[in-house]
Amino acid sequence: MPFVNWLKRNLVVLAGLLTLGYLLLPNVVVTVFSFNKPKGRFNYEWQQFSLDAWKDPCGVSGLCGSLSLSLQIALWATLGATLLGTLIAFALVRYRFRARGAVNSLIFLPMAMPEVVMAASLLTLFLNMGAQLGFWTILIAHIMFCLSFVVTAVKARVMSMDPRLEEAARDLYAGPFQTFVRVTLPIAAPGIAAGALLAFALSFDDFIITNFNAGSTVTFPMFVWGSAQRGTPVQINVIGTTMFVVAVLFVLVSMLAGNRRNRQKA
Amino acid sequence: MSTLTEAPPPLAPQAPASKPPKRRGRFTPYWLLLPGILWLVVFFALPMIYQASTSVQTGSLEQGYKVTWHFATYWDALSAYWPQFVRSVLYAGTATILCLLLGYPLAYLIAFRAGRWKNLIMILVIAPFFTSFLIRTLAWKTILADGGPVVGALNTLHVLDVTNWLGMTAGDRVLATPLAVVCGLTYNFLPFMILPLYTSLERIDGRLHEAAGDLYARPWTTFRKVTFPLSMPGVVSGTLLTFIPAAGDYVNADLLGSTDTGMVGNVIQTQFLRVLDYPTAAALSFILMAAILLMVTLYIRRSGTEDLV
């Protein structure tokens, strides 16, 4: 039975590909339904092919506004979390000091906490302080929960760094600032970039924490949430498809660039 | 590049004898930590304390709340919402097991069998992350629609008979049943299982598999005795990364479930944002947090990977 033998040998591959299909199925559905012309308010059933939504992605009131708000928040949150997180990561890897254990747990806890718990407790704080919910409270919350992920990403990279490279720079009479900018930073850069990318993705996609602390401000995930109740415009699928394609292209291009750089060095 | 990644582990902290310590450097770590740690203390730790105090307050929104050490709120919340707690643990637990069963073959495939397709598969695992998870969860409404191909196939294969018997579905529907919620949870947190599994599988030396084969271990035995034990760190962190957020999630239960499938997250959200009963909501999220911390601690103890965190 050659077929049974083949099946036995490739069972893992088949199971893995099935899982990959499970992961990608919703993206396929989102893409296909971005070409739909729905009857009524909800875009859950296939009716008719149409390019209407692709021609006019901002045709729904509030959608592109929420998208640009989400982009702004994600950019500022990435900047803030990456800056604060990189400093913490360097302090944790490079120095021995008291309270190191406490700092490590404080970094770990936000990642081990269900989002809804953090969201609710932050709202309690804001209500007690009488803070106006909106852009600033969202930004504060996003920097808070992205911080730990940046620290983890940067820490991993700095830990694998050879401290002798910096010693060599100092031996060649580089000042502390010069050593940092010319040697330390370039080596840590991939870790910092990974942390920043993670922070951007997390912030841009966050719904639970934002929903609690946004007041009447509407980010893109909150717009999608609202539309699930009121009626989902096809434009949401257009945006979803675009995000997927842009992400794949971005990763492909950065990988190709990395490959070429490695080949040039070799 | 390769010289960097293969560099020896960082040296032990240098003995101060070789270089006199700079006086300026003594406070450097604290200056580096200050802004970020301050942020976490003010916007993460302090809120937890506020929430603890809120949970023992009584009063009303109009007249204001006072701390009265009214611990009965905890008891009331627990006795009113225990079904949602049980459901959260049950759904998140089922989703975690499904994630492990589904994610392991894919992680294994990427680590050992993908060859030159490795990078592409990796991209396809990560890329869906960039389409808003709410949009993707809504797509499951289309996929699991009544009378759709998926429901039809499950019906033909008599899977629905089994899930009906288990109480996971009701009649010919999948949408608005526990099965739909578990399916959504499994889908949403699957990458959090695959990535740590892949990382720990990747570290395994392929020669160990050859050695097992040389010692006449069949592939299944090799997996059971060599591969799986060595991938335990990935299994532990993967299950934690899946279970914790799944237990607190309320989006899947809201979009794919019905009123009978509410989880703790749904109750906390409703109490906080609609009913505005802050003490009950605070008590509920404290119970959730405590339950999860307890389960996680026990789990890490049992699996013997305490150095994980």
Over residues A211-249, the pLDDT tens digits come to 999 999 999 999 999 998 888 899 999 999 999 999 899
Question: Can you give the CATH number for the domain in which B203 is found?
Answer: 1.10.3720.10
B308 lies in some domain: no
Amino acid identity at A9: R
Q: B84 pLDDT exceeds 90?
A: yes
**Nearest-Cα residue of chain A relative to residue B243:** A114
B6 falls in which pLDDT band (50, 70, 90)? Answer: very low
What pLDDT does B4 receive? 38
What pLDDT does B28 receive? 84
Q: B70 pLDDT exceeds 90?
A: no
Q: Tell me phi and psi for residue B59, to 5 degrees.
A: 140, -165
* CA B247 – CA A114 distance, rounded (Å): 7
Say if residues B138 and A224 touch (Cβ distance below 8 Å): yes
Count of domains forming chain A: 1
pLDDT in tens, B11-46: 444 444 444 444 456 788 889 999 999 999 999 999
Between residues 147 and 186 of chain B, which touch chain A (CB distance below 8 Å)? none
For residue B64, give the H/E element and its range. strand B64-67
Check CB contact under 8 Å for B247 and A207.
Answer: no
Mutation to test the B interface, candidates A67, A117, A140, most B Cβ within 10 Å = A117
Percentage of the residues of chain A whose pLDDT score is greater than 90? 58
Q: B255 pLDDT exceeds 50?
A: yes
Whether A96 and chain B come into contact, CB under 8 Å, resolves to: yes
A132 lies in some domain: yes
Question: Can you give the CATH number for the domain in which A192 is found?
Answer: 1.10.3720.10
Percentage of the residues of chain A whose pLDDT score is greater than 70? 98
What pLDDT does A234 receive? 92
Look at the pTM and tell me if it is higher than 0.90.
no
Listed residue (B129, B95, B128, B107) closest to B239, CA to CA: B95
Count of domains forming chain B: 1
Average pLDDT (B270-281) is 91
Q: Residues with Cβ < 8 Å from B130, sequence gap 6 or more?
A: A201, A205, A243, A244, A246, A247
Q: How many Å lie between the alpha carbon of A126 and the closest alpha carbon of chain B? A: 9
Q: How many Å lie between the alpha carbon of B192 and the closest alpha carbon of chain A? A: 12
Using an 8 Å CB-CB cutoff, list chain A residues near B51.
Answer: 120-121, 124
**Nearest-Cα residue of chain A relative to residue B188:** A23
pLDDT in tens, A36-63: 988 888 888 888 898 888 998 898 889 9
Q: A85 pLDDT exceeds 70?
A: yes
Could you tell me the sign of the dihedral formed by the alpha carbons of A127, A130, A135, A137, in that order? Answer: negative
Average pLDDT (B146-154) is 87
B135 lies in some domain: yes
- In total, the C-beta contacts within 8 angstroms joining chain A to chain B are 269
**Collapsed DSSP state (helix, strand, coil) of residue A36:** strand
Whether A205 and chain B come into contact, CB under 8 Å, resolves to: yes
Q: Which member of B28, B250, B289 has the closest CB to residue A95?
A: B28
Residue scoring higher pLDDT (A261 or A24): A24
pLDDT in tens, A188-202: 999 999 999 999 999
Say if residues B248 and A117 touch (Cβ distance below 8 Å): yes
Using an 8 Å CB-CB cutoff, list chain B residues near A95.
Answer: 28-29, 32
Using an 8 Å CB-CB cutoff, list chain A residues near B130.
Answer: 201, 205, 243-244, 246-247
A97 falls in which pLDDT band (50, 70, 90)? Answer: confident
Check CB contact under 8 Å for A128 and B105.
Answer: no
What pLDDT does B304 receive? 67
**Nearest-Cα residue of chain A relative to residue B53:** A124
Q: Residues with Cβ < 8 Å from B179, sequence gap 6 or more?
A: B163, B168, B169
* HEC string for B115-179: HHHHHHHHHHHHHHHHCCHHHHHHHHHHHCCCCCHHHHHHHHCCHHHHHHHHCCCECCECCCCHH
Q: Tell me phi and psi for residue B64, to 5 degrees.
A: 90, 160
Query: What is the residue range of B269's domain?
Result: 70-303
* CA A227 – CA B224 distance, rounded (Å): 47
B172 lies in some domain: yes
Mutation to test the A interface, candidates B30, B132, B256, B287, most A Cβ within 10 Å = B132
Q: Which member of A30, A161, A255 has the closest CB to residue B131?
A: A30
Whether B309 and chain A come into contact, CB under 8 Å, resolves to: yes
**Collapsed DSSP state (helix, strand, coil) of residue B24:** helix
Average pLDDT, chain B: 86
Listed residue (A186, A195, A200, A187) closest to A85, CA to CA: A195
B49 lies in some domain: no
A178 lies in some domain: yes
A97 lies in some domain: yes
Q: How many Å lie between the alpha carbon of B193 and the closest alpha carbon of chain A? A: 12
Say if residues B156 and B211 touch (Cβ distance below 8 Å): no
Mutation to test the B interface, candidates A92, A121, A265, most B Cβ within 10 Å = A121
Check CB contact under 8 Å for B285 and A211.
Answer: no
**Nearest-Cα residue of chain A relative to residue B264:** A116
Bridge partners of residue B67, in order along the sequence: B57
B300 falls in which pLDDT band (50, 70, 90)? Answer: confident
What pLDDT does B309 receive? 42
pLDDT in tens, A111-128: 889 999 999 999 999 988
What pLDDT does B16 receive? 42
Across A145-159, B141-155, B294-308, the highest mean pLDDT is recorded for: A145-159
Residue scoring higher pLDDT (B97 or B206): B97
For the record, the structure tokens of A225 come out as 């949430």
**Which alpha helices (H) appear in chain B, and where do they start and end?**
2-5, 28-40, 46-55, 72-108, 118-126, 133-143, 149-156, 159-166, 178-202, 206-214, 219-222, 228-230, 232-248, 251-256, 264-270, 278-303
* CA B157 – CA A111 distance, rounded (Å): 40
Bridge partners of residue B60, in order along the sequence: B64
Q: A181 pLDDT exceeds 60?
A: yes
Q: A84 pLDDT exceeds 70?
A: yes
Residue scoring higher pLDDT (B250 or B65): B250
Query: What is the residue range of A145's domain?
Result: 65-232
A265 falls in which pLDDT band (50, 70, 90)? Answer: low
Q: A163 pLDDT exceeds 70?
A: yes
Q: Residues with Cβ < 8 Å from A62, sequence gap 6 or more?
A: A218, A223
Using an 8 Å CB-CB cutoff, list chain A residues near B116.
Answer: none
